[in-house]
Chains A and B, each alone.
Chain A
Amino acid sequence: MRTVFRMMLVASLKDRISLFYALLFPILLMAGLGYYFNSPDYHERLFIGVLALSTLFWAVQGVAFQVYEQRNRGVYKLLRLTPFPTVSFVFALTLARALLGLCINGIISLVCAPLFGLSFPLLGVLPLLAMLTVGLLCFTCLGFLVVNFARNEGQINMLSNLLQIPMVFGSEAFYSLSAAPQWLVAAGRCTPFPYFVEGLRAAAATDFAAWGVSLLIVSVFALAMLALASLTFQWDPDRTPFGFRPRKSAARG
């Protein structure tokens, strides 16, 4: 398991373009919106929102494209021929990407917090790390689910946007939903993202009761996603969750 985890970490680290954008986009977003809405209160909200968004995008789309590439090269066919359980492989890759996600968020925090004079209570650091870890695990498993149902890169983009955008709009990552219609709030709360944002915010405010509830809810979502991702895991590029789709190569000699 350790070797598999280490190799998945190496493979993810060598994807330098994804890493670059995972760092650049949130920092630019924080800088752009932070200077445009120049209020200390909003900077705090924005900072948590940027961390949450960066976690979501890195986890969902990042893993989806990585798994797609591996699957398309046929490595999962070989994986299926080994005694290594699929769920352990999914878990090892998820852990590796979660660790990198934590490092990315660490760098974003180190760059963005001083930029807007934001400080973070020391007591909130560990709860924040715990919340980020559980969120990364949860959204990485969601990324696995996306790629399990997608047959090409276009579908990965489409499916992940279909899930990510409503999650962001249905949360209070960047704005308050107090004036939003109730159905939007209710729809948002069917997804893990609003709880994740609330958990991060509670950690920053050292409100441990609210943080605990959010952590528990996101953990339940993470377990459900891990189970679904493992159950629908696609090892064959010629196959969809709804059955085989033979291509010309399927009937080769």
Chain B
Amino acid sequence: MKNVLLQATGLVKRYGSRCVVNGIDLEVREKEVVAVIGPNGAGKSTTLDLILGLKRKDAGNITYWREDYKAQVGVQLQTAPFFPKLSALDNLKLFAALRKRKLSVEEGVQILERCGLREVVQTEAARLSGGQQKRLAIALALVHHPKLVFLDEPTAALDPRARREIRELIRRLADDGASVVFTSHDMEEVGKLADRIVLIRDGRVVAEGTPEDLLHRHEVENLEELYLKLTGEADA
């Protein structure tokens, strides 16, 4: 049995009378790729925000495998935040320092190269294209070789080539032994990457398991059908 890196139980988040996360449980084990899927507004990103401590939970418990987990966790948020006026490389060096890692220029360039950003190393981060910003955000999440990585819609709004590159990057991460939690609307991507799927709807987990297990259990042929069936969008 693999070690549990993260255990979240009974997470609840309310905005006024609206409950956007309603008792979600999520467990992430070592070297596991977990896809969190669901329709827009289902509570995926809010769940990640609660787990990361970016939003205050109204109820529930979150336990990481170690006290000083922040040094071992990498995060790519949906918005791609960078320090203004700094280049891609400077942002990388700065975030490495914030995560207590000293990064040489060569190492920084190597990481950016791995993320397909070789040509824009010295370009101001805010001036990069949407796809490049997304890749830089992922590079920032990986700069300290984290054990657990959260990626919030890492391939959203990217062209097919960039999507493929990001998928390969996530695959490599998992092969290197990191655990990855990612949210996505792309069922093909989920099928290719995820060891386990957590499907959220209306702030609740409505299905959880390996892709094969879920397909078998719900008697559907592919993940898209499963998604449509469980989110009630089959007739849409």
Contact = CB atoms under 8 A, between A and B. Distances in A.
A114 to B, nearest CB: 33
Contacts of A253: 38-46, 183
Contact of B100 (A10, A84, A251): A84
Contacts of B77: 74, 77-78
A70 interface: yes
B73 interface: yes
Nearest to A74: B81
Interface string B70-101: 11010101110111111000100111111110
A189 interface: no
B198 to A, nearest CB: 14
Nearest to B144: A82
A10 B86 contact: yes
B34 interface: no
B126 to A, nearest CB: 8
Contact of A11 (B54, B56, B83): B83
Nearest to A16: B85
B102 interface: yes
| Chain A interface category by residue count | 20 to 34
B86 A7 contact: yes
Given A244-B56, A253-B38, A15 B85 contact: yes
B97 A14 contact: no
Nearest to A1: B97
B94 A7 contact: yes
Given A7-B86, A244-B56, A83 B70 contact: yes
Contacts of B94: 3-4, 7
B35 interface: no
Q: Which of A7, A11, A70 has the most CB of B within 10 A?
A: A7
B119 to A, nearest CB: 21
A252 B41 contact: yes
A83 B100 contact: yes
A24 interface: no
The 6 nearest A-B residue pairs measured at CB: A74-B81, A3-B97, A14-B85, A82-B98, A84-B98, A7-B94
